[in-house]
Amino acid sequence: MDKNSFSSDDEKFMRLALEQAQLGSFTTRPNPAVGCVIVKNGLIIGKGFHPKAGLPHAEVYALQDAKNHGFDVAGASAYVTLEPCSHYGRTPPCAKALVESGVKQVVVATLDPNPQVSGRGVAMLQEAGIEVRVGVCEQEAKAINAGFLKAMATGLPSVRVKIAASLDGRTAMADGESKWITGSAARQDVQKLRAKSGAIITGSGTIIADNPALNVRLPSLDLDNITQPKIVVVDRSARLQHTDNYQVFKKTDTLIWRENLPELLKTLVSEYQCYDVLVEAGSTLSTTFLQLGLVDELIVYQAPCLLGDSARAMFAGKFDKLNQKLNFTLMKTEQIGEDLKMTFAPKPQ
């Protein structure tokens, strides 16, 4: 079998490894979510995932799981959703652990662009005589860690803009009242978006009008192990004076940002290791992110109600000609409670 040919069994086992990876997707930040299954004679003998930065990686848990169940790992195949690491970080290299375990084959979904790894994990395995194949279920594996992969490759985070709107695309009444347009299920879904985000960006207008907490508080989300996202308040014209009045400033590390947005995104990666960023803001700031082409994903929760012509619009851009419109590709639709969740990817302008 050549390096890049995969059987349906390969895909089946890698999908199980991806399911394992997902188990860590709310808690591993800033580390990527990674899963691993160990297979011998067509049977799964061990599985594991990376639960949290500082704790062992997926491969270590999977090898231990096999041993705990009395299986001999020698001669087995390991399916890993990210290239096994080759560096001594918070934990020793997984490639070394795999070599020492005696597995004969490692199947990898996607390479790790972390400069400390980037191909060296695969090389370490191959040098030890282990057969390595890369690329099975690669798209799914990349999607799980979109922010981590983008940040490692470009220095910029993956940016998601979330908007809750009515059927007629309105986000609040003229006086700013907006509690609640979407239902509780949609708002719980937003909690999951927050939990997957290293940072939440909002504007000073939203802070002054709504005084939101912008934290993760859904009890079903393993709150003890979630690192609360960093909060950034964009305040271009220094409108925020008495920060003590606002919930987001109960956290000491909330950042007030007065410079440009591309610089903010770079800073979030380089200084704070925030690789997935959620913009939960009013239409002015959301529009600026969209118009600057800084957005990877737009999520609109659309509620089945009409708010009328004097309510606030979800988009603040003003165009004269139709050819100035911003275009999107619809990636996914889901019904969440009574609302519709639409996920869009902006098309290049």
DSSP E strands, 50-191: 77-80, 105-108, 131-134, 158-166, 170-172
Token reading at 339: 């609302």
Exactly one of 11, 19, 59, 338 is catalytic; name it: 59
Query: Residue 186 in contact with residue 218, Cβ under 8 Å?
Result: no
Determine which residue in the list 78, 94, 146, 281 makes contact with ligand AOF, applying CB under 6 A: 94
CA atoms within 13 A on the CB side of 51: 10
31 vs 171, beta carbon nearer Zn ion: 31
226 binds Zn ion (CB under 5 A): no
86 vs 171, beta carbon nearer ligand AOF: 86
Query: Residue 228 in contact with residue 251, Cβ under 8 Å?
Result: yes
In Å, how far are 39, 204, 205, 248, 251 from 238, measured between CA atoms?
Answer: 58, 8, 11, 16, 19
80 binds Zn ion (CB under 5 A): no
31 binds ligand AOF (CB under 6 A): yes
85 binds ligand AOF (CB under 6 A): yes
Q: Which of 264, 199, 271 is nearest to 231 (CA)?
A: 199
Q: Which of 91, 13, 109 is nearest to 50 (CA)?
A: 91
Q: Is 164 annotated as a binding residue?
A: yes
Strand bridging mode 230-234 / 255-257: parallel
Stretches 27-35, 100-108, 124-132, 332-340: which one binds ligand AOF (CB under 6 A)?
Answer: 27-35
Determine which residue in the list 14, 47, 59, 195 makes contact with ligand AOF, applying CB under 6 A: 59
Site for ligand AOF in 160-179 (CB under 6 A): none
65 binds ligand AOF (CB under 6 A): no
- Rounded Cα distance, 38 and 329, in Å: 38
In Å, how far are 105, 124, 203 from 291, measured between CA atoms?
Answer: 47, 44, 16
239 binds ligand AOF (CB under 6 A): no
Backbone angles phi, psi at 279, to 5 degrees: -100, 115
- Rounded Cα distance, 122 and 119, in Å: 5
85 binds Zn ion (CB under 5 A): yes
- Rounded Cα distance, 344 and 325, in Å: 15
Stretches 92-100, 168-176, 297-305, 320-328: which one binds Zn ion (CB under 5 A)?
Answer: 92-100
Q: Is 194 annotated as a binding residue?
A: yes
**Residue 59 is among the residues annotated as catalytic for this protein:** yes
In Å, how far are 27, 198, 219, 224 from 227, measured between CA atoms?
Answer: 7, 8, 14, 8
91 vs 291, beta carbon nearer ligand AOF: 91
120 binds Zn ion (CB under 5 A): no
Token reading at 128: 């030890």
Which value, to the nearest 10 degrees, does the dihedral of the CA atoms of residues 314, 318, 324, 326 take? Answer: -10
Q: Is 94 annotated as a binding residue?
A: yes
Stretches 63-71, 101-109, 111-119, 302-310: which one binds ligand AOF (CB under 6 A)?
Answer: 111-119
Q: Binding string to ligand AOF for residues 116 to 145, with x set by CB under 6 A, is what? A: -x----------------------------
94 vs 285, beta carbon nearer Zn ion: 94
Q: Is 85 annotated as a binding residue?
A: yes
Determine which residue in the list 16, 23, 53, 326 makes contact with ligand AOF, applying CB under 6 A: 53
Strand bridging mode 35-40 / 77-80: antiparallel
Stretches 81-89, 127-135, 156-164, 293-301: which one binds ligand AOF (CB under 6 A)?
Answer: 81-89
**Which residues are known to be catalytic?**
59
Which amino acids are annotated as binding site for substrate, given as ranges? 178, 194, 206, 214, 217, 280
Which residues of the chain form contacts with ligand AOF (CB under 6 A)? 31-32, 34, 50, 53, 57-59, 82, 84-85, 89-91, 94, 112, 114, 117
Interacting residues toward Zn ion by CB under 5 A? 57, 85, 94
